[in-house]
Chain A
Amino acid sequence: MKDLFVLACRLFVGGVFIYASLDKLAHPQAFAEVIHHYRLTPYPLLHPSAHLLPILEFVIGSALILGLGGRGAALLAGTLTVVFMAAITSALVRNLDISCGCFNTDGGHDVGLDLLWRDGILLLMCLPPLLAPRPGFGLDRFFRK
C-alpha cells in the first residue's frame, strides 16, 4: 500500500515536471523572457538558465516516472520547487505583475498566492519518494542493494 502511494506521488510529480518542461523546451527564447521578468537572474546567467532548467525538469520527471534514481530525483524536484516558491514570493513582495511561466511561456497564470499553495502541495508530494526506505516500483529495485 505504501509502495503504491509512493508510486502515485512519483508519477504525479514526474508528470507535472515533464509537462512543465515541454513548452519551455520548444520556446527557449520565450522562456528566457519569462525568467527575465522575475528580475532575479543576471544577464550572464539568463540564457544558460533558460537552456538548463527545462532539460533538468524533463530529466527529473523522467527519473521519477521510471523510478531510476527516484530519491535523488525527488530531492532535486523538491529543491527546484523551493527555488520556484522563493522566486514567486519575491515577485509577490515586489508587486511584479508577471505571469509565472510554470507551464506556458506564452502568457499563462499570473503570479499569485495560489501558486504558492500549488507548489507547497507539489513539495509535500516530493517527500514520500525521497524518504521511501525501499525502491518500490521502478528501475531502482534492480540497482539498489
Chain B
Amino acid sequence: MRLGASVQAALAGFKWSGPFREAGLLLLFALVLTAASWFLRSDGLPLAADPMEYELELAAPLTVTEEALAFYDEGDYLFVDTRPHPDGDFQTIPGAFFIREASFDDDLLEYFDFMTTKDHFILFGDGDIFPVSNIAARMQDRGYQNLLILKGGLTSWLQAGGEVSERSGGES
C-alpha cells in the first residue's frame, strides 16, 4: 500500500517538462531526420532486413536454385532433405537423403555406407534456412565439410521447374 501510494505520488508529481520534454523533442527530431534521410537516400538500406543477407551467420554457404539445378544435372552433389518427416505422401528431390534434426544421429547412421565426408552435399528445407543451417553445423561436426544450403528450399526448386519424386511418409 505504502509503495503504491509512493508510486502514485511520484506519477502525480511528474511533469512532462525539463529534460524529459527536451529528450522527447530531440528523439522526435531524430525520428523525422531518420525518415527524411531514408526517403532521400535512394541507394540506402531498405527498412526490412532480409535474413538471407546475413548469411555469414549460416553454417554453410548458400546456393541459388539455378546453380543447384546445374549441380543436380551434373550429378556432382548429393541432396539432403532436412524437413521434418511428414505423415502422408510428399514430394522431394529425387535421390535425396533424409537427415532431420529430431533423428539426426539415426539418419546419419542409416546412410553411413552411402555418404562419405568427401562427398559434396546440398541441404534443403521448406524455405526457412536456419533449421537447415543447424543441421549443416551438426554435419560439419561429423566431418562433412562440403556443404551448401539451397536458398528458398524445395519451394524455389519447384518454382524453377526442378524434378521431384513422390515419397510416402513411412519411407526414408
- A contacts, CB < 8 Å to B: 28-29, 32-33, 36, 43-44, 46-48, 50-52, 55-56, 59-60, 63, 69-76, 79, 130
On whether the beta carbons of A43 and B49 are closer than 8 Å, the reply is yes
* Complex: A77 Cα to B10 Cα, angstroms: 24
Q: Which residues of B contact A29 (CB under 8 A)?
A: 45
Say what secondary structure dominates the interface of chain B: helix
Number of interchain pairs (Cβ within 8 Å): 76
B31 touches A69 (CB 8 A): no
Q: Do the beta carbons of B34 and A72 come within 8 Å of each other?
A: no
Q: Could you tell me if A51 and B27 are in contact, using CB atoms closer than 8 angstroms?
A: no
Contact-size category for B: 20 to 34
A contact residues around B54 at 8 Å (CB) = 33, 36
Q: A47 to chain B: which residues have CB within 8 Å? A: 45-49
B38 touches A51 (CB 8 A): yes
In the complex, whether B44 has a CB less than 8 A from a CB of chain A is yes
User: Which secondary structure characterizes the binding site on chain A?
Assistant: helix
Are A43 and B18 in contact, with the CB atoms below 8 A?
A: no
CB-contacts of B109-146 with A (<8 A)? none
B7 in the interface (beta carbon within 8 A): no
Q: Mark B22-56, 1 if CB is under 8 A from A, else 0.
A: 11111101110110011000001111110100101
Contacts A43-B51, A71-B18; A51 near B45 (Cβ below 8 A): yes
Q: B: which residues have CB within 8 A of A?
A: 18-27, 29-31, 33-34, 37-38, 44-49, 51, 54, 56-57
- What chain B residues lie within 8 Å of A130 (beta carbons)? 19
In contact, A72 and B44 (Cβ under 8 angstroms) = no
Question: Lowest 8 A-B CB distances belong to which pairs?
Answer: A72-B22, A72-B23, A69-B22, A71-B19, A46-B49, A56-B30, A28-B45, A59-B30
Q: In the bound complex, do residue A52 and residue B31 qualify as a contact, i.e. CB atoms below 8 Å apart?
A: yes
CA–CA, A35 and B22, complex, Å: 27
- Cα(A55)–Cα(B30), bound, Å: 6
| A55 partner residues in chain B, CB cutoff 8 A | 30, 33-34, 37
Whether the Cβ atoms of A51 and B26 lie closer than 8 Å is: no
Q: Which residue of B lies closest to A73 (CB)?
A: B26
Q: How far is the CB of B47 from chain A (nearest CB, A)?
A: 5
Judge whether A72 and B26 touch: CB under 8 Å.
yes
Contacts of B18 in A (CB 8 A): 71-72
User: Contact partner of A60 among B26, B37, B49, B51, CB < 8 A?
Assistant: B26
Nearest neighbor of B50 in chain A, beta-carbon distance: A43
Other A-B pairs, 20, CB within 8 Å; known A72-B26, A130-B19: A32-B45, A33-B54, A33-B56, A36-B49, A43-B51, A44-B48, A47-B45, A47-B47, A50-B45, A51-B34, A55-B37, A56-B30, A59-B26, A59-B29, A69-B23, A69-B26, A72-B22, A72-B25, A75-B19, A75-B20
> For the complex, what is the distance from the CA of A144 to the CA of B56, rounded to whole Å?
51
